[in-house]
Amino acid sequence: MERNKWEIAIRCLEVALHPNTSDDEVVAAVNGFRRTARGRPLSQICSEFASKDAVGPGAAAEDWQEKLDRLSRENLDLRQEIEQRTRDGNEELASAYRRAGAAELRFAELQATVTDLGEENRDLRRALEQARRIPVAPAAPRMASPFRDVLAAAYRGADQPEPVAARYPAALNRERGGAPIFDPRPNRPWTA
């Protein structure tokens, strides 16, 4: 409480001594100092005001130096801690930026893939619609292979395979010139 009073008294003197203060304000400021100081001399107020600091009243120069050294050490420790936290924060931030960049790249690749799949799906649907519009042709009769007939007859153990012409309608045989597709009795002997 006393310290607060001394601060008010000294502030009144500062106002009174300021070069821009008018004469009436100087008188008012001096009267304010007197009321606050209650008759104490200025030297006593200044010494009490200065001694109310954290070191305590009547502190010696060594105490002040010790306090200054302690505050300097604390300040240095705080600076080092802040620098370390800043470095750690910068590393975490850089790592987060790298992860965010990689995630954005993967997202862009995924979007491109989805777009490509959408276009491919659209193309496949168009092709399917076009294929559905094409009329289905009737199935053509299956052509028999003469060699397969010979193998089938040999497998069955028969001497002669069934003639191919017998399995096809006469119209198909006529298209081929009337001759059978396979003649099991060759005119010439086989040579290699």
182: CB partners within 8 A, 6+ apart = 146, 149, 150, 161, 163, 164
Selection from 38, 62, 45, 53 nearest residue 11 by Cα: 45
Task: Answer whether residue 26 is part of any domain.
Answer: yes
pLDDT for 39 equals 82
* Domain span including residue 36: 2-52
Task: Answer whether residue 43 is part of any domain.
Answer: yes
Task: Answer whether residue 62 is part of any domain.
Answer: no
Among candidate residues 52, 67, 88, the one where a domain is terminated = 52
pLDDT for 44 equals 81
pLDDT for 15 equals 86
Among candidate residues 52, 75, 90, the one where a domain is terminated = 52
Task: Answer whether residue 27 is part of any domain.
Answer: yes
Looking at per-residue confidence, does 168 or 21 come out higher?
21
pLDDT for 96 equals 94
Task: Answer whether residue 122 is part of any domain.
Answer: no
Per residue in 114-146, pLDDT tens?
Answer: 888 888 888 889 988 888 888 877 766 666 677
pLDDT for 100 equals 94
Task: Answer whether residue 31 is part of any domain.
Answer: yes
Task: Answer whether residue 159 is part of any domain.
Answer: yes
pTM: 0.31
Q: What is the DSSP letter of 79?
A: H
Q: Is residue 184 within 8 Å of 164, Cβ to Cβ? A: no
Task: Answer whether residue 86 is part of any domain.
Answer: no
Q: Report the Cα 69 to chain-centroid distance in Å.
A: 48
**What total number of domains does the chain contain?**
2
Among candidate residues 10, 31, 52, the one where a domain is terminated = 52
